[in-house]
Structure 1
Amino acid sequence: MKKIKTVDDFNFENQTALIRVDFNVPINELHEITDDTRIQYTIPTIQKILSEKGKIVLISHFGRPKGAPSKAFSLKFLVQHLSKLLKITVNFFENCIGDSTIKKVNELKYGEILLLENLRFHKEEEKENENFAYELSKLGDIYVNDAFGVAHRYHTSITILPKFFGEKKCIGFLMKKEIQYLNQFLLGKGERPISVLLGGAKISSKIEIIENIIGFADYILIGGGMSYPFIKIKGGMIGDSIIEKNQIIEKTLKKIFHKYQDKINIIHLPKDVVIADSFKNESNTKIVPIHSIPNGWMGLDIGPYSIKNFCKIIEKSKTILWNGPVGVFEFSNFSLGTRSVAKAIANRTEKGAFSLVGGGDSIASLKMENCEKKISYLSTGGGAMLSSLKNKTLPGISAIIL
């Protein structure tokens, strides 16, 4: 953290802070926010700057409008929610570059805040475009990146824009926390036993993580679609279970098994699974050993023995990281494994363990059990969290250091 400037390194009096936030929040069909964690976590950064009588210009993306303005993807719906959280009026402008936008920023008084329209209404945002970055740079004196959720993206406002601010660039409090907590794991500094639970459908995005953490983790629990490639290379029958068909994945997994033979016993796979004859909630189900799934059936959740085993490991852990569900938890009949894990992590945290949970599905399952507030820290970026766990410096952080 020493090389990275934070908002604490600046006094924002009479300065305009251009803050890149990640307000790409989930909404329902009524356009109502269903989870405002990302917004809540940016409030301390905003309040610090406002308290010093700085101007604030907020820039963010929302959804995938494909480079064209669209009412469905406008950020205007955030104004009321932000104003309520900050207890001041949040102004809004329907563009994020151009003379009219600059005029709007200049009219803003110190101690006031302006939210600009969706960056992705301009196709240049996702193309690391120098001209677009230059236009955005006219809107502030100090660049602040507090958007951990997109810090792994090579997008204009993340990697190119900071170049125009020289020494006057930094990260916000949200980014600082994310980096600090992830470093606790990556440096193996957490109190032992350290347990890492990885789930979700794709193993390709997490193989590097397994290689990176196998040297310091005490337990690596693997569930969801991620577990089936392991079972397959061990000669098990996985039926029609979801699996990434990739020979490179199989070769890499075999290499891990060979390279870390003395450590392989720390990897815990499910022993039993709930299988179904179709990919829907109302399908026929039964519980079988994970290595004996018949053709025409697919594993959709971890079974009761595996739930008990995973929870037993969680209960004796003192540092826990979780990313990805262990089953198709959005189907109620296949959500027990993920919900049980969520409750076990929350309960262990209440007893003194440190827990870090990331990824939209994992956080959603915590909310199902009303235990998201019992977790030590909810990471605001699933993809960024995964990139960090591969021991890679995120592009958004590199852009601040340089």
Structure 2
Amino acid sequence: MATVKTVSDVNLAGKRVLVRCDFNVPFDAEGKISDDTRIVGALPTIKHLVTQGAKVILCSHLGRPKGEKNPKFTLAPVAVELANQLGSPVTFVEDCIGEPVKAAVDAMSDGDVVLLENVRYYAGEEKNDPEFAKQLASVADAYVNDAFGTAHRAHASTEGVAHLVDTKVAGFLIERELEYLGEKTTTPERPFVVILGGAKVSDKITVIDSLLEKCDTMLIGGAMAYTFALANGKKVGDSLSEPDKVETAKEAIAKAEAKGVKLLLPVDNLITNKLDFGAGEVGDVKVVSGDIEDGWEGVDIGPDTIKLYEDAVKSAKTVLWNGPMGVFEIKACAQGTFAVAEAVAKADCCSIIGGGDSVKAIKKSGQGDNVSFISTGGGASLEFLEGKTLPGVAALETK
């Protein structure tokens, strides 16, 4: 892949710079931001532009307001939190296009920061409507994309705008994502160990296929593992599995063998006779090797598998982890995921956490600060690891 230009490669002093951030943050029951990871992730690019003396115009989406103005999805609280983090004012504009935006931008001095309202208040955003993109771009001399989490979507603010300005570059966040998910997994320091978990083989089959070309060892956990167990002729009881994907799992097993990749599957599982995810409760639990009987379902890897996986990670020089080992949200089923998190954090390696639930898991385990890189993209991480072109990156200038 050609290397994209970044904010380091251009001088944007005095320019009006439209920056696409990913401020799609979660809120708690009281309406407070419950995880500021994405805000913190945007700070290096914003600070760089402020220091350079650019007029910084930030835009983002939040949630799914379905093309309508809905106060439930306002970015106003993000402006407050962002100002706290920057230690300087952030002007919030109650629209993302039109006169209010033009007026706010006209009033800016060099180094000022403005945050526009949710771009998804307009249906034109997700439709990548040229007219909407034109209105967004009308206040900008340059464009910076720093929203890796939405780079796999060809929306007006992630792709359309880039074609309407002369200078279009990546921010530091996207630069780091491309470096870790791209370079460091394409030409990894070896041994390269990939850990894949989560619910469905169907979600990750292209990733499995792509990574079997690159890695030395692959560990499978989560509900995906029960589809692999079916492929090996085992019974999985009531475990979450995809019987229609058994052939796909068999193909992956065969490919690993042909490539000389060590494919490790669970040798034991923690199972329960009742799982109430909503209430965060399980019934009786026990550890079994081999078949799982009807009326019971797997909810985590067992102690022997934990040991096996820890040993595999210990000697790694590069680790990519995407997807939990079990139902880590419930304490009784979190041991496998947290043990793997600890093993990855302790290993003397470049450790890359690939978005989505793995990020929640590594943070919940308390090991978030002890890994090399945590990706901000769920779907974008997977698509990039699959080798797909990300429209939001492809629209930027290359070096």
TM-score, with structure 2 as normaliser: 0.95
Residues in 1 aligned to 2:311 and 2:355: alpha-carbon distance in whole angstroms: 23
Does 2:240 correspond to 1:242? yes
2:300 counterpart residue number = 301
Residues in 2 aligned to 1:147 and 1:287: alpha-carbon distance in whole angstroms: 42
| C-alpha displacement of 1:8 | 1.4
Query: Any idea what SS the aligned residue of 2:223 has?
Result: helix
Between the two proteins, the alignment pairs up a number of residues equal to 394
| C-alpha displacement of 1:259 | 4.2
Give the 3 Å change call, closer, same or farther, for CA 213–185 of structure 1 in structure 2: farther
1:340 counterpart residue number = 339
Say if 1:257 and 1:264, in contact at 8 Å, map to a contact too. Answer: no
Residues in 2 aligned to 1:79 and 1:160: alpha-carbon distance in whole angstroms: 24
Map 1:282-297 to 2 at 5 A.
282-289=282-289, 291-297=290-296
Query: Any idea what SS the aligned residue of 1:224 has?
Result: coil
Give the 3 Å change call, closer, same or farther, for CA 29–52 of structure 1 in structure 2: same
| C-alpha displacement of 1:57 | 0.5
Residues in 1 aligned to 2:132 and 2:151: alpha-carbon distance in whole angstroms: 18
Query: Any idea what SS the aligned residue of 1:42 has?
Result: helix
| C-alpha displacement of 1:45 | 0.9
Query: Any idea what SS the aligned residue of 1:238 has?
Result: coil
1:71 counterpart residue number = 71
2:325 counterpart residue number = 326
1:370 counterpart residue number = 366
Residues in 1 aligned to 2:168 and 2:202: alpha-carbon distance in whole angstroms: 34
| C-alpha displacement of 1:236 | 0.9
Query: Any idea what SS the aligned residue of 1:204 has?
Result: helix
Residues in 1 aligned to 2:8 and 2:45: alpha-carbon distance in whole angstroms: 9
Deviations 1:153-183 (A, max 9, x none): 1222112121111x31010011001101112
Residues in 2 aligned to 1:25 and 1:379: alpha-carbon distance in whole angstroms: 15
1:177 counterpart residue number = 176
Residues in 1 aligned to 2:250 and 2:358: alpha-carbon distance in whole angstroms: 28
Query: Any idea what SS the aligned residue of 1:217 has?
Result: coil
1:218 counterpart residue number = 216
Does 2:304 correspond to 1:311? no
Residues in 2 aligned to 1:222 and 1:255: alpha-carbon distance in whole angstroms: 15
Residues in 2 aligned to 1:260 and 1:192: alpha-carbon distance in whole angstroms: 17
Does 2:84 correspond to 1:88? no
Identity of aligned residues (%): 40
Which residue identity does 1:272 align to in structure 2?
D
| C-alpha displacement of 1:295 | 1.2
Deviations 1:292-350 (A, max 9, x none): 011121111111111111111111111111111110011111111111111111111xx
Say if 1:323 and 1:382, in contact at 8 Å, map to a contact too. Answer: no
1:394 counterpart residue number = 390
RMSD: 1.6
Residues in 1 aligned to 2:397 and 2:220: alpha-carbon distance in whole angstroms: 34
Gaps of 5+ in 2: none
Does 2:18 correspond to 1:18? yes
Residues in 2 aligned to 1:257 and 1:375: alpha-carbon distance in whole angstroms: 29
Say if 1:149 and 1:384, in contact at 8 Å, map to a contact too. Answer: yes
Query: Any idea what SS the aligned residue of 1:78 has?
Result: helix
| C-alpha displacement of 1:46 | 0.8
Which residue identity does 1:173 align to in structure 2?
F
Query: Any idea what SS the aligned residue of 2:134 has?
Result: helix
Gaps of 5+ in 1: none
Query: Any idea what SS the aligned residue of 1:344 has?
Result: helix
Give the 3 Å change call, closer, same or farther, for CA 257–365 of structure 1 in structure 2: closer
Deviations 1:81-114 (A, max 9, x none): 1111111100001100112221211111111000
Does 2:249 correspond to 1:227? no
1:274 counterpart residue number = 270
